[in-house]
Chains A and B, each alone.
Chain A
Amino acid sequence: MTVPLEVVGSQGEAQPEAVLEGGHAIEGRSLGQIAWMRLKRDKIALSGGVVVLLLIVMAIFAPLIVKWLGHPPNEFHYDQVNPDTQVPIGSHGGISRHFLFGVEPVNGRDLFSRIMYGSQISLLIAFLATLLSVGIGTMMGVVAGYFGGWIDTLISRVMDVFLAFPILLFALALAGVIPDKAFGLKGDSLRIAVIIFIIGFFNWPYIGRIIRGQTLSLREREFVDAARSLGARSPYILSRELLPNLVAPILVYSTLLIPTNILFEAALSYLGVGVRPPRATWGGMISDATNWYQTDPEFLVPSGLAIFITVLAFNLLGDGLRDALDPRSR
């Protein structure tokens, strides 16, 4: 495995012609390596990936970062706010050495800290919800595509039902009636769990359909026939022959689903059904900022930029991944 790479490396450049000359060397490379090489060449996707990594690190270490560079996210700083107009005293929304992103109108909370803590909620919900929909979607898609017949019909119709579901309305209604305690959770953890469930559970048909389509074409391929003729049973074929070939689309669509879910979570927070105040969320901050867009437009900037950058980074990474894993789709 390592030899061909070294050969390429020793030649100093990865010319396609050079690779073609050593035909046997290509056979030695795994799909993942080829994809990684392509991805490395795609600087835009790579930078998206770096930003995503940074965001994840930021979310995990938010309390530490805030300790060094900010103030507790719910601490009031009345001295930073004009008592008559309620907008920050300092210029540009009160940006200063002590308040890197400025402060909130009325109560003077540190926007930097709130963005940091907000990233935890956004990413947590987005990742777990994506995991849930990808898990359900893959399972249903593979089963429907592989077995076909009435199973396929049934699952496909269920997908249609889910796709026709007004998910936002449902989320609004459900989030409005969440009790304080249920399923052994309470307060915000329960609300986060419910939101993850809503977003994840109602989004699986999107990925499910894609997986079903891929499975339909894969199951007719020779290697599946070969496995079957050798006596392999369905569970083996599903997990060993089909799933590995589905990793690429799963990875790509997960990466593209995450930003969608971040936006959805932001929309829910914006509409006031996300986690409860005073806990910071990006959507909630945008919602608060809309009341101030004329007198303190800077309030809108940090949360807006945070969502924008995050979604863009995930989308760039996702696009790059798709190009890398499936160059024919270009």
Chain B
Amino acid sequence: MPCTMKRTPRTAALAGVAVVALTLTACGSSSKKASTPSGSATGGATSSGASASGGGGGGSTTTAAFNAGVGKVFNPSTAKGGTLRMAHSGDFDSLDPADTYYGYSWNFIRNYGRTLVVFKSAPGAAGAQLVPDLAETLGVPSDGNKTWTYKIRKGVKFEDGTVITSKDVKYAVERSLDKTVFPDGPTYFNDNLDLQGYTSPYKDTDPNKLGLKAIDTPDDNTIVFHLKAGFSGFDYFAQLPQTIPVPQAKDTGTKYKEHVISSGPYMFASNDLGKKFVLKRNPYYDAATDPDSGRLALPDQISVELNVNAADIDNRLLSGDLDVQIEGTGLGAEAQGKVLSDPKLKANSDSAAIARTWFTVVNSDVAPLNNIDCRKAVQYAADKVGYQRSYGGATGGDIATSLLPPLIPGARKIDLYEAAAMPGGDVAKAKAALTACGQPNGFSTNISYRVERPKEKAVAEELQQSLAKVGIKLTIKPYPQGDYFKLYAGKPDFAKSNGLGLMVYGWGADWPDGYGFLEQIVDSRTIRAAGNTNLGIKLPEVDALLDKAFATTDITAREKIWGDIDQKVMESGEVLPGIWAKGLDYRPPNLTNVFVNDGFGEYDYTTLGTTKT
């Protein structure tokens, strides 16, 4: 993740559809872009139709094998019962649907809340498809995509038996607008709804606290959203947890997270904040009202322990004392080694590709790297196998030949520096490039990395060794990751005056899409005095391509542009690609219906079952 592993904001532009120029939060930085929805693609959200059944899509298997849970369902079952035991090495940002912005949280929240539309629980590409959940169909646009209408399903009830109405959804969206109460959630509704000055239901003079004019509820089953400007991808907003209905009478503001009123298959049985919470079945959940989402709701209970030591979680997973590590970040280094060296354990693990690239920025501000040939020398000389080893070898990811991960639509094979042919580095070509640069004997520069990250340290040491073969001498400079962007690598003045020629880095999009991945790291116009996530890639042609992409409504054409940007960045030599990341997930043998949801890069939390009772 861009800044810290903890803060994992979901980037915008979901599923490669017309969600462009959305707000993109980057680790609490203030770079929130005013939203100017552009484009009017109509093919964005194709409904799978109400007939689509849950689960399947990529086949299934019952034989335990490495990657058995990738692209297909492992161990399918319809047996109900048991307790699904999950654990978290930290804590949720919030359990409140208005206030959460983590991918795993959005994955999990579907167990106790129903949004208007939802990503289908299915393996493979089907997981990126939007299907209606609380609504009967996907949104119906009118008025040039400025007005979106949803019909709420009849007979869906809260955990107390009250029927869910469109007003509950409206109230939920209203309260999510109040960023003083709920600072963590995304701001898409704030930015795109025609608010007319509305700020918060807690300051609302309307007796029912439903004063927001941007949302109409003509009857209990209809909800109409009015946007500031036409936007074809509104269904992607309608899947945000912020549309999970909240009964106004039960809203307790910041304390609502202690007991969220459930609209999904499970409700809170107990909630000991910061320690543990348990979900039990919601007696008023009727699967007949939920035909499209693919939820299976097999276990009778789901328990989530919080603030458990990360290594402890791994050990308990391996010993069968735990079922799921809820953050979905994969096993730690030690457990990973243990699993990989034991064929039996390895058969119970999945290597899931993530939309993330670990790379090193080659800083064109620092002489002699301002010369493109010197940058090319670095590209050729770097030992890509060593880079991969630093991240744990093949299980850590594949050797990257360009910046854009292959998972992202529009990524194409770009290999300008022989990363595939000579992964160990090409000394001859590197020396030729050095001569062209006017530094035939090499030069000296510095490499920075985040001190808390042993893998980045390994990269710095590895590059120091491999670049030394052509005479490029690197001095290694670790900096604390908390200030890596504010004070060091992300501060252009500092990087330049301290001669940080190479900066070890990595970036991930939480949802696979070119915009979400690229915008914050290659758009030169986002570069500020400090706190940058773009560590110095300043290419006018890339900026122009980004603008072109924002204005392009045709999906295929736009996706091609992401590849073009990738090409341009690689041609400039300003990014030394390392690896396209993968995470190693362990699935204890007692789990059923296991598959990696491609959208989250994690196991799907609404279909898991357990044979342990």
List A residues at the B interface (Cβ < 8 Å): 74-76, 78, 81, 83-87, 106-107, 176, 180, 187, 272, 276-278, 288, 291-296
Q: A84-B395, A176-B480, A288-B454 are in contact. Are A76 and B462 (CB under 8 A)?
A: yes
Of B337, B385, B393, B480, which contacts A295 at CB under 8 A? B337
Write out the residue numbers on chain B whose beta carbons fall within 8 Å of the beta carbon of A294: 311, 334-335, 337-338
Interface residues of B in 380-409 (CB under 8 A from A): 385-386, 389-390, 392-395
Contacts of B462 in A (CB 8 A): 76, 107
Q: Quick one: which of B389, B457, B464, B480 contacts A86, CB cutoff 8 A? A: B389
- Determine how close the nearest CB of chain B comes to the CB of A77; give it in whole angstroms: 11
**Given A76-B386, A107-B461, are A86 and B337 also a contact pair (CB < 8 Å)?**
yes
User: Across the two chains, which residue of chain B brings its CB closest to A297?
Assistant: B334
| B52-60, B71-79, B211-219, B470-478: which lies at the interface | B470-478
B498 part of interface (Cβ distance < 8 Å): yes
Cross-chain contact B392 with A86 (CB below 8 angstroms):
yes
Min CB distance B496 to A, Å, is 14
Query: Is B451 touching A85 in the complex (CB atoms < 8 A)?
Result: no
Pick 14 A–B contacts, CB within 8 A, sort by A.
Answer: A74-B464, A75-B465, A84-B394, A86-B337, A87-B337, A106-B389, A107-B465, A187-B475, A276-B478, A277-B461, A277-B478, A292-B334, A294-B335, A295-B337
Task: Convert B142-168 into 0s and 1s, putting 1 for each residue whose CB lies closer than 8 angstroms to a CB of A.
Answer: 000000000000000000000000000
A169 to chain B, nearest CB (A): 14
Q: Which residue of A lies closest to B474 (CB)?
A: A278
A76, A86, A176: residue with the most chain B Cβ atoms closer than 10 Å: A86
Q: CB of B64 within 8 A of chain A?
A: no
Alpha-carbon distance between A84 and B389 when the two chains are bound, in angstroms: 8
B: number of interface residues (CB 8 Å):
32
Chain A residues positioned under 8 Å from B527 (CB to CB): none
Q: A78-B389, A276-B476 are in contact. Are A85 and B461 (CB under 8 A)?
A: no
How many Å lie between the Cα of A44 and that of B186 in the bound state? Answer: 67
B340 at the interface (CB under 8 A from A): yes
Q: Residue B341 at the A interface, CB < 8 A?
A: yes
- In the complex formed, the residue of A with least CB distance to B477 is A276
A87 to B339, CA, bound (A): 13
- In the complex, whether B458 has a CB less than 8 A from a CB of chain A is yes
Least CB distance from A90 to B in Å reads 14
Known: A78-B386, A84-B393. 18 other contacts (CB 8 A): A74-B461, A74-B464, A76-B386, A78-B385, A84-B341, A85-B341, A86-B337, A86-B392, A107-B386, A107-B458, A187-B475, A272-B452, A278-B461, A291-B333, A291-B454, A292-B337, A294-B335, A295-B334
Q: Are B458 and A296 in contact (CB under 8 A)?
A: no
A76 to B338, CA, bound (A): 23
For the complex, give the distance between the alpha carbons of A293 and B314 in Å.
14
Closest-CB distance, B483 to chain A (whole angstroms) = 9
A14 to B562 alpha-carbon distance, docked (Å): 90
Residues of A near B395 (CB, < 8 A) are 84
* B393 close to A83 (CB less than 8 A): yes
Across the A-B interface, the 8 shortest Cβ-Cβ residue pairs: A295-B337, A294-B334, A272-B451, A85-B337, A278-B461, A85-B340, A85-B341, A277-B476
Across the two chains, which residue of chain B brings its CB closest to A287?
Answer: B454
CB nearest to B311 among chain A residues? A294
**In the complex, A180 Cα to B452 Cα: how many Å?**
20
- CB neighbours (8 Å) of B392 from chain A are 86
How many Å lie between the Cα of A129 and that of B490 in the bound state?
Answer: 36
Residues on the A chain within 8 Å of B177, using CB: none
Q: Which residue of A lies closest to B466 (CB)?
A: A76
- Residues of chain A with a CB closer than 8 A to B68's CB: none
Q: Which B residue's beta carbon lies closest to that of A108?
A: B389
The answer to whether B477 touches A83 (Cβ under 8 A) is no
CB neighbours of A76 from chain B (8 A):
386, 462, 465
User: Contact: A107 with B389, CB < 8 Å?
Assistant: yes
Distance (whole angstroms) from the CB of B390 to the closest CB of chain A? 6
A231 to chain B, nearest CB (A): 61
Nearest Cβ in chain A — how far from B392, in angstroms? Answer: 6
Give chain B nearest CB distance to A11 CB in angstroms: 64
Contact A84 B386 (CB under 8 A): no
Q: Does B460 contact A (CB under 8 A)?
A: yes
In chain B, what residue has the closest Cβ to A284? Answer: B457
A80–chain B nearest beta-carbon distance, Å? 12
Closest to A276 in B: B476
Residues in B neighbouring A106, C-beta threshold 8 A:
389-390, 458
The residues of B that contact A278 with a CB separation of less than 8 Å are 461, 464, 476
Given contacts A86-B389, A272-B478, contact A277 B460 (CB under 8 A): yes
